[in-house]
Chains A and B, each alone.
Chain A
Amino acid sequence: MAVSRRRLLGVAAAAVGLGASGALGACSSVVGGLGAERDTGTLDFWNLFGGGDGVRMQQMLDGYRSAHPEVELAAVTLAWGNPYYTKLSLATVGDRPPEVAISHLTRMKNLVRADLLEELLPDDLARHGMSPDKFNRRAWEAGLVDGKAYAIPIDTHPFVMFYNTEICQQAGLLDADGKLKPFEGEAGFVDAMRRAKEVTGTFGGAVAFTSETATPWRMFQSFYAQLGGKMLAEDGTKVVIDDAKAARALEFMQGLTRDGLFPNPIDYQGSIAMFANGEIGFFFQGEWEITTFQTAKLPFSMTLFPNVFGGGSYAVQADSHTFVLPKQPHRDQARLDRSLTFVRSMLDQSRTWTEGGHVPLWLPFAESPEFARMSPQSEYASAADSAAYDEDGWYSGSGSNFEIITGSAIGDVLAGAATPQQAIAQMRGNLEQLAGTASPL
């Protein structure tokens, strides 16, 4: 009995010893968890990029590493969505934020209101050559909070229209250069879908809405913004849905599934599979899916989301990825310069980033002939100027409760499970509950 226990303890001690020797490198940081003060001196960068974006971000980070071997860069990719912003907020509240982090433009504003981000002073930005005039104006201005800058945008990622060039060719929708002939208005849109449907024999296009909230919201917001509609006002304390405009957009969307131009039901993966397999002519989604279809060797191209209701004033739902500097427990000028140098290095690699479908905002690249030659990325670049960002509110922004509430109501309309009026009432009811709640920020 005693012997066996001693032997067990010996084995355990050996195991611990082995673990410790292997963990020597991690040792300092591990023991650091016992102290209240901790600074490893590394440049910690948090992002939320998976898939193709993740691969390209990795290339850009490698680019920075080779140019700045003196800096130890520790990049961490966290699962995207609410968990990411929760972690970022909690780390900052807990005084151990990363030095630089990625945030969606629409989520960044709430981080600012929660007093979690460092203001970026014009002098500091100018010193690193990142003055406001070097950025796309729409995105830069959309990111200001009370006229102050807190975020450096790297891209706009709009909702776009993918089209299968072979199917559109057969449907007679392409021009002599093999590009989609622009169509406008409700009739133009429906006509294009109908002609694609005649070719495929199944459906004309697809938009995902089953078990999916962001996509239906993005499509609705694009139409609704073209009509000039607004959802929220006064920092989200008022719900200002315009019934007539919302109903018009919703009725149009419902017609697409009702008349069999779009499939119903259809989830995100299913819609991708349909387009990737060449079963439909049009596909509506964020531009980031470009990598998926390139990998699938599909004959396709991309263009601006159609202008159905806008007439002279085009609009399309979009958001931007931005670099932010979470508030550090101690201010430090050298640290700030290191962070800004890093951000600048990312902007200088805008080309790599643009390959993933995102619209570049860094004018030295966005206005270059190099970008103009990039196809199909340059086809929808003007979306950045007409971006309709989600309106401000403590519960708003990409992947937020706001998008879940609106997206599920809109999804019900597409599924034929609710009338536009019912969906509007549902959205208004749920949003007003949030709008009436005192902002925790």
Chain B
Amino acid sequence: MSTQTSAQTDTDAHRGIAPTAPRASAGTLGHGRPAAGFLAPFVVLYLLFIIGPAVYGLILSFTNASLVKPGLNGFAGLGNYGEALGSAAFWSSLWHTLWFTILTTPPLVILGFLLALLANRVARGRWFFRLAFFAPYILPSAVVALIWMWLYTPALGLLDTALAKVGMTPPSWLGDAAWAMPSLAITTVWWTLGFNFVLYLAGLQEIPRDLYEAAAMDGAGPWQQIRSITIPMLGRTTTLVAVLQVIASLKVFDQMYLMTAGGPNFATRSILQLVYDEGFTNFRVGYAAAVSMLFFLVVLAVSAVWFTLVRRQEKVV
């Protein structure tokens, strides 16, 4: 018993948790100097390109800084924040971002789950399904945009011709303010579904087989098995998938920039595109920094919700 305890402590010391027991091999004073050497490259880069810019961005957000002028160009106080919170462009961009998130998250999570479920039941040819669903995810957004703009092309595109054949009048997919966002969402579902599919497939394979066998012995049909075993067992995966999905959707920029340029008439401009427009087209760096900070708060809030959910789940399990 006592040897076991000491072995346990030994391992903990290695893992860096409460290094209590003095150790002969490494001396008692710790590894301050070599550790600093190992940490230095990361920490220096981290300070230069994450922490430093974050602080600098915060400072910029209180100034009238311009892309084409040196220096901070005078302090604006809370002016940039006031302008953002009082501007229709900011709120509509935020809404477009949320609307895109609402349109993409449920289908991406649900379809990802369903297709993984089906693929898990199929014994052969799983590589084919993984290829079909995951291959789009590996493509650059620019490639996806080129392909889908061609599919959406009025009159000549594959979608319009197919719909015309069955006697339907297709909408102007990317040209109509009401349809543009759903069209971008469809493209995005096609593009990124593979990611969630793979996560769910991995989650499914971790569920012990005997659980299903026992349920089958009790006379549970496939549907009951899914409801009483699969879905509860995948709870944690679903939280992960949903939160990663929400955060990825909030950060949307590529699809709009490439396929609609935020149009028609700004109907699909996302919050990141507003940052791009204000900072790099209008040169208003200070204002763009303020919008970035407000956007960061939104992402932080979502992350906080995730942490709370994970905490709760861990307590339950």
Contact = CB atoms under 8 A, between A and B. Distances in A.
Instruction: Answer whether A and B touch in the complex at a CB cut-off of 8 Å.
Output: yes
Interface of A: 81-83, 85-86, 89-90, 93, 114-116, 211, 213, 267, 269, 394-395, 401, 404, 408, 433, 437-438, 440-441
B265 interface: yes
Interface string B157-186: 000000000000000100111000000000
Contacts of B264: 211
Contacts of A269: 154, 175
B283 A438 contact: no
B60 to A, nearest CB: 12
B266 A441 contact: no
Given A440-B66, A441-B66, A441-B68, A211 B176 contact: yes
B281 A86 contact: yes
A433 B88 CA distance: 11
Contact of B281 (A82, A93, A433, A441): A82
Contacts of A267: 172, 175
Contact of A83 (B83, B154, B261): B261
A3 to B, nearest CB: 21
A93 B282 contact: no
10 contacts: A85-B281, A86-B280, A89-B68, A89-B281, A211-B263, A211-B264, A267-B172, A437-B284, A441-B66, A441-B68
Nearest to B264: A211
Contact of A89 (B67, B83, B176, B265): B67
Nearest to B265: A408
Interface in B247-294: 261, 263-266, 276-277, 280-285
Given A81-B261, A395-B282, A440-B284, 15 more contacts: A82-B261, A86-B276, A86-B280, A93-B67, A93-B68, A211-B264, A211-B265, A269-B154, A401-B282, A404-B266, A437-B83, A440-B282, A440-B285, A441-B68, A441-B69
B239 interface: no
Interface centre among B74, B261, B284, B285 (most CB of A within 10 A): B284
Interface of B: 64, 66-69, 74, 83, 87, 154, 172, 175-177, 261, 263-266, 276-277, 280-285
B235 to A, nearest CB: 35
B261 A441 contact: no
Nearest to B68: A114
Contacts of B176: 211
B265 A404 contact: yes
Nearest to B177: A211
Contacts of B154: 269
Contacts of A114: 67-68, 283
B257 to A, nearest CB: 8
A395 B283 CA distance: 10
Contacts of B64: 438, 440
Contacts of A404: 265-266
A89 B277 CA distance: 13
What does DSSP make chain B's interface, helix, strand, loop or mixed? loop
A429 to B, nearest CB: 10
Nearest to B262: A82
Contact of A433 (B74, B87, B175): B87
A440 B67 contact: yes
Contacts of B261: 81-83
A404 B69 CA distance: 26
A249 to B, nearest CB: 21
A269 B154 CA distance: 10
B283 A89 contact: yes
Nearest to A395: B282
A83 B261 CA distance: 9
A93 B154 CA distance: 38
A81 B261 CA distance: 10
A437 B282 CA distance: 12
Contacts of A86: 276, 280-281
A441 B277 CA distance: 15
A213 B266 CA distance: 11
Contacts of A93: 67-68
A89 B67 CA distance: 9
A116 B87 contact: no
Contacts of A408: 265
Given A82-B277, A269-B154, A433-B87, A440 B265 contact: no
Contacts of B74: 438
A213 B265 contact: yes
A438 B73 CA distance: 10
B281 A440 contact: no
Nearest to B278: A440
B160 to A, nearest CB: 13
A437 B283 CA distance: 12
Nearest to A394: B282
A83 B280 CA distance: 9
A86 B68 CA distance: 12
Interface centre among B69, B263, B266, B281 (most CB of A within 10 A): B281
A116 B83 contact: no
Give 3 nearest A-B pairs by CB, closest first: A114-B68, A440-B66, A211-B264
A408 B266 CA distance: 11
Contacts of B266: 404
A440 B69 contact: yes
A404 B284 CA distance: 18
Contacts of B69: 440-441
Nearest to B180: A211
A394 B74 CA distance: 18
B171 to A, nearest CB: 12
B283 to A, nearest CB: 4
A93 B66 CA distance: 12
A211 B175 contact: yes
Contact of B283 (A83, A213, A433, A440): A440
A114 B67 CA distance: 9
Contacts of A440: 64, 66-69, 282-285
Interface centre among A82, A213, A408 (most CB of B within 10 A): A82
Contacts of B172: 211, 267
A440 B263 CA distance: 24
